[in-house]
Amino acid sequence: MRFDVLTLFPGMFSAVMGDSIIGRARDRGILEMNFIDIREFSLDKHRKTDDYPYSGGGGMLMTPQPIYDAYMSVAADLPKKPLTVYMSPQGRVFNEEIAKELAGQEQIVLLCGHYEGVDQRVLDEIVDMEISIGDFVLTGGEIAAMAVMDAVSRLVPGVLPFEEAYKNESHYSGLLEYPQYTRPPEFRGRKIPEILLSGHHANIERWKREQALINTYEKRPDMLKTAPLTEEDKAFLEKYIKSKGESNQICE
C-alpha cells in the first residue's frame, strides 16, 4: 500500500512513521510512504504558499497552485485517480470502519492543510473525502494524517504478525477489548484471574467475550447500540446490568 502525503512540513513524519511496526513494514516493502513538500511547487520566488482570504478576517489561506502541482507530481502518470483525502475538522470523524475502508485502497493521497485552511477550488478539484480525527482543531493536518496512516497501515496484510493482532482489539469487532495480563502472576497483591491459568480454551474465550461486553458497557455503552450482539451476549448483559441494580436500556 502506498501513501503520498502533501504537506508543508515533511520532516514531521520521519520519526513517527519510520520506527517500530510501521517502519519495519516500510523496510519490507509492504508499505510505501512519500512525503511531498508543497513549498517546492510554489511559483513564488520566496516559495510562498499562502495569501489573505478574499472574505477578510484574520489568518492566511493556502493557495491552490502549489497544492495542485504537488498533487499532479503524484497523480499525473497514474492509470486512475488515487483516493485523495483532506485532513479537515469538517470531515467525517475517523473510526475503525473508515480505517477498514481505506485499508482496501492500493494508494491514498493525504493533503495536510495549515493556517486558516485551503482554497476551496483546489479541494473541489482533487479531494474525494475529508476526514477529521475529532471535534477539535489542530494547527495543521500532519498529526491527524499520521494517526490515520498508522490506523490504516496496521490493517494491511503483513504489517502485523498475525490477523488476530488487530481483530481482537478495541473497536474492530464493535466492542472494547477485554483486559489483558502478563507476568508476574501477582503484582502488589493483585492476582490475574484464575480462569486465565486454567488451560480451558473454551472457558477462556467465553471469559474474554464477557469481559469485552462489561468493558464496553462501563466505558462506552453507546457502542452496544450498534455492536453485533448474539442472544447469549444480550442475556449476559441483562444479567450483569441487573446485578448492578441499573435499568437495562441497552438490549431493549
Task: Give the pLDDT confidence of 12-68 residue by residue, as tens digits.
Answer: 998 899 999 999 999 999 999 999 999 999 999 999 999 999 978 778 999 999 999
Q: Does 107 share its domain with 212?
A: no
- Domain ranges, residue 33: 2-153
CATH code, domain carrying 183: 1.10.1270.20
Q: Does 38 share its domain with 116?
A: yes
Task: Give the pLDDT confidence of 62-91 residue by residue, as tens digits.
Answer: 999 999 999 999 999 999 999 999 999 999
Q: Does 213 share its domain with 103?
A: no
Q: Does 105 share its domain with 50?
A: yes
Strand, helix or coil for residue 116: coil
Task: Give the pLDDT confidence of 96-133 residue by residue, as tens digits.
Answer: 999 999 999 999 999 999 988 999 999 999 999 999 99
- CA neighbours closer than 13 Å in the CB half-sphere of residue 42: 16
CATH code, domain carrying 24: 3.40.1280.10
pTM for the structure as a whole? 0.87
> What is the spatial distance between Cα 162 and Cα 143, in angstroms, rounded to a whole number?
27
Number of structural domains (the chain) is 2
Q: What is the pLDDT of residue 171?
A: 61
Q: Would residue 230 count as lying in a domain?
A: yes
CA trace torsion 236, 241, 242, 244 (10° rounding): 130
Q: Would residue 194 count as lying in a domain?
A: yes
Q: Does 65 share its domain with 180?
A: no
